[in-house]
């Protein structure tokens, strides 16, 4: 893994001191915008993205005390978002109930609302983007891989964490092998998008 950015050091310091409210606030303020943007691209309705973001914020709040720092908190945050979005889509009419009322934690609730509001311009431009329409023809996991690699510049080792199942431990020996698999998958996705763009007359 690369050296931790300053924000991750601050989050880890807050967690070490048992100040999980501050740690959660730092993560939501520092990384919430890109997580919300991912959910807005992943889910068709803005209300769904808003709901899943609140669920992810709750999972973050509840999970930080047990977070073991075997990966960066951003990669883990993406992992929570991916799995929450998948669960939300699968649940359809039977949506999962929240474990925590963010209204009980007014500062965190306010941050969640602010992040959701701030991403509205992104949502508006994304809908108009022709290439994004092509991306939406891909599977949800292929879309996420593309977003995290291209839009967020994640390296493939970080992608292993972000793309894994929430409760699946990742052994160090397996990370390089899985990273190589994701790299090949990413190349196939690019080739498919290029062919789709040519068919649509975009290239």
Whether 166 is in a domain gets the answer: yes
Chain-centre distance for alpha carbon 89: 15
Is the pLDDT at 195 greater than 50, yes or no?
A: yes
Token couple for 183: 């790299």
Residue 1 located in a structural domain:
no
**Maximum Cα–Cα distance for the chain, whole Å?**
56
Is 80 exceeded by the pLDDT of residue 133? no
In whole angstroms, what separates CA 141 from the centre of its chain? 11
Half-sphere exposure of residue 49: CA atoms within 13 angstroms, side-chain side: 23
Residue 3 has pLDDT above 50, yes or no: no
Question: Which 8-state DSSP code applies to residue 126?
Answer: H
Residue 97 lies in a domain: yes
Mean pLDDT of 96-123: 62
Query: Over the stretch 144-166, which tens digit does the pLDDT of each residue have?
Result: 898 888 878 888 988 988 888 76
Q: Could you tell me where the beta strands, DSSP code E, fall in 106-193? A: none
Structural domain containing residue 26: 6-199
Mean pLDDT of 188-195: 88
Q: How many domains does the chain have?
A: 1
- The residue-averaged pLDDT of 161-183 equals 80
Average pLDDT over residues 1-13: 78
What is the DSSP code (8-state) at residue 70? S
**According to the model, what pLDDT value does residue 47 have?**
84
Q: Per the domain annotation, does 71 fall within a domain?
A: yes
Q: Residue 65: its pLDDT value, please?
A: 92
Mean pLDDT of 125-131: 52
For the segment 15-36, the average pLDDT, to the nearest whole number, is: 91
pLDDT confidence of 91, banded at 50, 70, 90?
confident
DSSP-based three-state secondary structure for 139: coil
Comparison of pLDDT for 151 and 103, the residue scoring more: 151
């Amino acid at each position: 893994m690369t050296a931790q950015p300053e924000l991750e050091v601050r989050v880890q310091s807050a967690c070490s001191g048992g100040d999980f409210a501050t740690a959660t606030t730092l993560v939501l303020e520092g990384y919430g915008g890109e997580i919300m943007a991912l959910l807005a691209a992943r889910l068709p309705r803005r209300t769904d993205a808003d709901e899943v973001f609140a669920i992810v914020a709750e999972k973050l709040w509840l999970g930080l005390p047990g977070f073991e720092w075997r990966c960066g908190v951003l990669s883990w945050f993406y992992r929570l978002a991916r799995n929450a979005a998948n669960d939300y889509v699968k649940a359809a009419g039977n949506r999962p109930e929240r474990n925590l009322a963010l209204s009980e934690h007014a500062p965190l609730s306010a941050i969640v609302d602010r992040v959701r509001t701030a991403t509205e311009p992104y949502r508006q431009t994304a809908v108009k983007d022709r290439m994004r329409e092509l991306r939406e023809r891909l599977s949800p996991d292929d879309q996420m891989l593309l977003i995290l690699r291209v839009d967020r510049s994640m390296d493939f080792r970080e992608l292993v964490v972000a793309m894994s199942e929430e409760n699946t431990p990742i052994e160090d020996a397996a990370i390089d092998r899985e990273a190589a698999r994701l790299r090949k998958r990413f190349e196939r996705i690019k080739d498919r998008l290029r062919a789709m763009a040519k068919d649509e007359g975009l290239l």
